[in-house]
Amino acid sequence: MPSGDATRSSPDEVQHPPPIQCEACESALQNRDGHTLSFLLLDRLTVPVVGCDDHVTEFASVCGLTATDRTDVIDHPPAGGIRCPSCQLARYDIGHPVVSVQDGAVGILACQDHQAELVDRFHEGLDTQEQLTASLDTSR
Ligand SMILES: [Zn+2]
Ligand SMILES: [Zn+2]
């Protein structure tokens, strides 16, 4: 019996994230009881994110490279609350995307629109960071 048609039974493209090497991130992601929730303020956006302090800070600083206003991370809900009602509800969902940040991972607990926006900004920020590094390398 050939055993090669296992792929046919799973048509969904389930993406398995790479293993998280940062234990602090992993435990933060597993333990979504609110203690580890951080709030990323990026321009006008307020997005709940989860991960260890180090990697949330790294994530924020990379996203911040694309920001025109200010970037900040706070560990309590902002005074004005989260403005996007979908994001408020999204906090209680499971199955949020996890973005690899160096050897850690940060979960984005936002609505789909804001998830996509934040992931975009992060990748843009990584490009910017690369260009900065590259220009430093070549300008000796
Ligand atoms: Zn981490
Ligand atoms: Zn939203």
Q: What CA–CA distance (Å, rounded) separates 73 from 60?
A: 7
Query: What's the CA-to-centroid distance between 100 and ligand 2, angstroms?
Result: 21
Task: Tell me the pTM.
Answer: 0.79
The string of pLDDT tens digits covering residues 28-37 is 988 756 567 8
Taking the CA of 55 as reference, the closest ligand is 1
Instruction: Evaluate whether residue 32 is within a structural domain.
Output: yes
Residue 13 included in any domain? no
Which listed ligand is nearest to 56 at the C-alpha?
A: 1
Q: How remote is the CA of residue 102 from the centroid of ligand 1, in Å? A: 9
Number of domains in the chain: 1
| Distance between CA atoms of residues 7 and 44, nearest Å | 43
**How far is the centre of ligand 2, averaged over its atoms, from the C-alpha of 124 (Å)?**
19
Q: What is the reported pLDDT for 10?
A: 47
Domain range for 102: 21-138
Inside any domain, residue 5: no
3 band by pLDDT with thresholds 50, 70 and 90: low
> Is 47:108 a contact under the CB 8 Å cutoff?
yes
Q: Minimum-distance ligand to the CA of 108?
A: 2
Residue 16 within a domain? no
Residue 14 lies in a domain: no
Ligand whose nearest atom lies closest to the CA of 83: 2
- Convert the pLDDT of each residue in 60-90 to its tens digit: 999 999 999 889 999 888 888 888 999 988 8
CA of 44 relative to ligand 2 center, distance in Å: 11
Inform me whether the pLDDT recorded for 114 exceeds 90.
yes
Judged against a pLDDT cut of 60, whether residue 1 lies above it is answered with no
Res. 53: pLDDT tops 90: yes
Expressed in angstroms and rounded, the spacing between residue 130 Cα and the centre of ligand 2 is: 28
Sign for the CA dihedral angle at 87, 93, 99, 101 comes to positive
Q: Which ligand is nearest to the CA of 88?
A: 2
End-to-end CA distance of the chain: 62
Residue 102 lies in a domain: yes
> Looking at residues 120-131, what average pLDDT do you find?
95
120 in a structural domain: yes
pLDDT (0 to 100) of residue 36: 72
Ligand nearest to the CA of 90: 2
Residue 8 resides in a domain = no
Higher pLDDT, 14 or 73: 73
Q: Is the pLDDT at 44 greater than 80, yes or no?
A: yes
